[in-house]
Amino acid sequence: MNTFHDLGLNEDLLHAITDLGFTKPSEVQEKAIPVLLNSETDLVALAQTGTGKTAAFGFPMLQKINVDSRTTQGLILSPTRELCLQITNEIKLYGKYCKGLNVVAIYGGASITEQAREVKRGAQIIVATPGRMKDMISRNMVDITKIEYSVLDEADEMLNMGFKEDITDILSHTPKDKNTWLFSATMPKEVAAIAKNFMHKPQEITVGTKNEGSSQVSHEYYLTNSRDRYLALKRLADANPDIFSVVFCRTKRDTQKVAEKLIEDGYNAGALHGDLSQNQRDLVMKAFRNNQIQMLVATDVAARGIDVDDITHVINYQLPDEIETYTHRSGRTGRAGKTGVSMVIISKSEVRKIKSIERIINKQFVKKEIPNGMEICEVQLMSLANKVHNTEVNHDIDNYLGKINELFEDSTKDELIKKFFSVEFSRFHNYYQKAPDLNISESSKSNDDDRSTSNTTRYFINVGKKDGYDWMSLKDFLKEILELGRDDVFKVEVKDSFSFFNTENEMKEKVLAFFTDFKYNGRYVNVEVSENRGGGGGRKRDRRRGGGQRDDRRSNFKGKNDRKSSSGKSKSRRSKSDDFVASRPRRSRR
């Protein structure tokens, strides 16, 4: 095993490494640092976040640049503002003994003139997000024509976020003979194309296998009905009292909704998504870093660049649209040598996606049971018992000991323990004692999800394939106009000129009321209760109002792409399951 000294790093850097407490190089550092120090080469490194990759490119860059010159020699591009700031901070720490070093962060959402001023003072290294960098180049606020080293960090994320053109544009302002070091967690075609088009015979380094997640992370999935997703989430949190987690949702709306519900139910939760202002996001991230938030509910985009080392769990409340994104999500845990768990809550129709993810990450998921109420009570009780056992005695209590002893004069130790723990235990016990089993079996028969048709209403709607819909886009459309959650519309079946969908019975009134007079692009959209129960049965629908009329209306319909937003607002439902939530015990702050 090499030491940092063996890798060829100079005294200034070794001194900083000692201060940082790094005892040995990580795998990516061991592989990348000697290559970058000893040759002028391009490099493609496949490495997850949390593997120490910032130091893997940061140390060589710091050692190779000339700090006596004020010329910008190193450019690091990163996908998000958060990551940009983190890299800047790390590089400053690594270079703290490099006298004269100036590292400047360039990112959107902050004063461009202030950033330009800092650059002008002489920045040997610029760490930037692509959008702001391009902006500053076009305004002649930076000069990157003498760059010797450029880094594309989290290249796959930058491409995912649509920065390809910006990156191409930025690189066109840099010298041809510079070295480019590309770091990416995954290697989709687009990243391979960048390596091919912009790099010259790059050396390749792989930490783990291509696209594979960190070996420190174990993967679990939990199978439940879609409508029980939220309850399952709470069980998973309750079964892990010291959880410090990122909970991923697919949309901003679901992210906000889940976070709000968790807060309402007494969890230390917060939301992180693109509809929040930068200031709000900074506050949430600060609270998360300080452990005031135990469950950070986030969208994939907003969570990019979350660089917190001690996340114990990643919870996939919903699977991502692109399964490759799963690698990024799970990479938020198991960082800096720690272990982590990535949990996925899925309904039956998503089981096949687990198989696809397994192929991508080259690891097996373990199917786990959602804990039942009594298991959670036991975990909570033992967690409290351990906390009590490990608590240091506060001797200010000594003054009151006499009175307390008097009160418990007649109690035995056993009685006292029982009473003491009942205070906490009863709250959980009352809540969980009649809690239903949330698990469902993989083999039971179901298509879209498990809702029993007797609790649900099937509707007919006079739009279909001819209007440009498939089941997914119609589901999205209905969810949006009715302001419903992801799982509230199901069994969507799209025919040529009409379609069917289901909701739970309790939403029937709301759905029908909404469509009583709903005009869309000049045409009435008609929704009626159908007799077709869905799932491949007969096609008998309620024709009380006449099918012909529906077809007439359809002819004017412009399709989903022309739609304007609806003003029909109504509060989203509280499900039966949610009523159960109301009596849940409040959690105490960590």
- Tell me whether residue 264 or residue 309 sits nearer to ligand AMP (CB atom): 309
Q: Which residues, including other chains, have CB under 8 Å from residue 331's CB and lie 6 or more apart?
A: 48, 49, 50, 185, 213, 214, 217
User: Using alpha carbons only, how large is the chain's radius of gyration in Å?
Assistant: 28
Return the residue matching tokens 């029908």.
Answer: 512
Query: Considering the complex, what minimum distance in angstroms separates the CB of residue 316 from ligand AMP?
Result: 21
List C-alpha distances in Å: 278 to 79, 87, 253, 272, 353. 16, 19, 17, 10, 34
- Tell me whether residue 46 or residue 55 sits nearer to ligand AMP (CB atom): 55
Query: Considering the complex, what minimum distance in angstroms separates the CB of residue 86 from ligand AMP?
Result: 7
Query: Considering the complex, what minimum distance in angstroms separates the CB of residue 214 from ligand AMP?
Result: 10
Tell how strand 499-504 and strand 217-223 pair up: unpaired
Site of interaction with ligand AMP (CB under 6 A): 22, 25-26, 29, 49-55, 90, 307, 309, 335-336
Closest CA to 131 of 145, 118, 115, 147: 115
Query: Considering the complex, what minimum distance in angstroms separates the CB of residue 502 from ligand AMP?
Result: 45
Q: Tell me the residue ranges of DSSP E strands in 224-333.
A: 245-248, 269-272, 295-298, 313-316
- Tell me whether residue 83 or residue 527 sits nearer to ligand AMP (CB atom): 83
Query: Considering the complex, what minimum distance in angstroms separates the CB of residue 47 from ligand AMP?
Result: 7
From CA 323, how far away is CA 341, in angstroms rounded? 18
From CA 203, how far away is CA 31, in angstroms rounded? 11
Instruction: Tally Cβ neighbours within 10 Å of residue 28.
Output: 24
Query: Considering the complex, what minimum distance in angstroms separates the CB of residue 6 from ligand AMP?
Result: 13
Query: Considering the complex, what minimum distance in angstroms separates the CB of residue 29 from ligand AMP?
Result: 6
- Tell me whether residue 156 or residue 449 sits nearer to ligand AMP (CB atom): 156
Burial code of 338-359, b = ≥16 C-beta within 10 A, e = fewer?
eebbbbbbbbbebeebbeebee
- Tell me whether residue 126 or residue 489 sits nearer to ligand AMP (CB atom): 126
Helical packing angle, 130-138 and 112-120, nearest 10°: 70
Q: Tell me the residue ranges of DSSP E strands in 207-248.
A: 217-223, 245-248
Query: Considering the complex, what minimum distance in angstroms separates the CB of residue 361 from ligand AMP?
Result: 18
- Tell me whether residue 51 or residue 526 sits nearer to ligand AMP (CB atom): 51
- Tell me whether residue 130 or residue 334 sits nearer to ligand AMP (CB atom): 334
- Tell me whether residue 54 or residue 255 sits nearer to ligand AMP (CB atom): 54
Q: Which residues, including other chains, have CB under 8 Å from residue 504's CB and lie 6 or more apart?
A: 227, 451, 455, 456, 457, 488, 573, 575
From CA 346, how far away is CA 250, in angstroms rounded? 13
From CA 78, how far away is CA 545, in angstroms rounded? 58
Query: Considering the complex, what minimum distance in angstroms separates the CB of residue 87 from ligand AMP?
Result: 8
Query: Considering the complex, what minimum distance in angstroms separates the CB of residue 50 from ligand AMP?
Result: 5
From CA 579, how far away is CA 322, in angstroms rounded? 33
Adjacent-strand bridge partners of 151: 76, 181
- Tell me whether residue 23 or residue 452 sits nearer to ligand AMP (CB atom): 23
Please give the backbone phi and psi of residue 588, each rounded to the nearest 5 degrees, phi first.
-85, 155
From CA 151, how far away is CA 78, in angstroms rounded? 8
What does the DSSP assignment read for 502-550?
EEEGGGHHHHHHHGGG-EETTEE--EEE-S--SSS-------TT-HHHH
- Tell me whether residue 231 or residue 311 sits nearer to ligand AMP (CB atom): 311
Query: Considering the complex, what minimum distance in angstroms separates the CB of residue 45 from ligand AMP?
Result: 11
SS3 call for 393: coil
Please give the backbone phi and psi of residue 467, each rounded to the nearest 5 degrees, phi first.
-95, 5
Query: Considering the complex, what minimum distance in angstroms separates the CB of residue 48 from ligand AMP?
Result: 7
- Tell me whether residue 158 or residue 461 sits nearer to ligand AMP (CB atom): 158
- Tell me whether residue 58 or residue 371 sits nearer to ligand AMP (CB atom): 58
Return the residue matching tokens 């960082």.
Answer: 335
Query: Considering the complex, what minimum distance in angstroms separates the CB of residue 26 from ligand AMP?
Result: 5
- Tell me whether residue 27 or residue 480 sits nearer to ligand AMP (CB atom): 27
From CA 57, how far away is CA 39, in angstroms rounded? 13
- Tell me whether residue 26 or residue 268 sits nearer to ligand AMP (CB atom): 26
Answer whether 294's CB lies under 8 Å from 269's CB.
yes
From CA 341, how far away is CA 345, in angstroms rounded? 13
Query: Considering the complex, what minimum distance in angstroms separates the CB of residue 54 from ligand AMP?
Result: 3
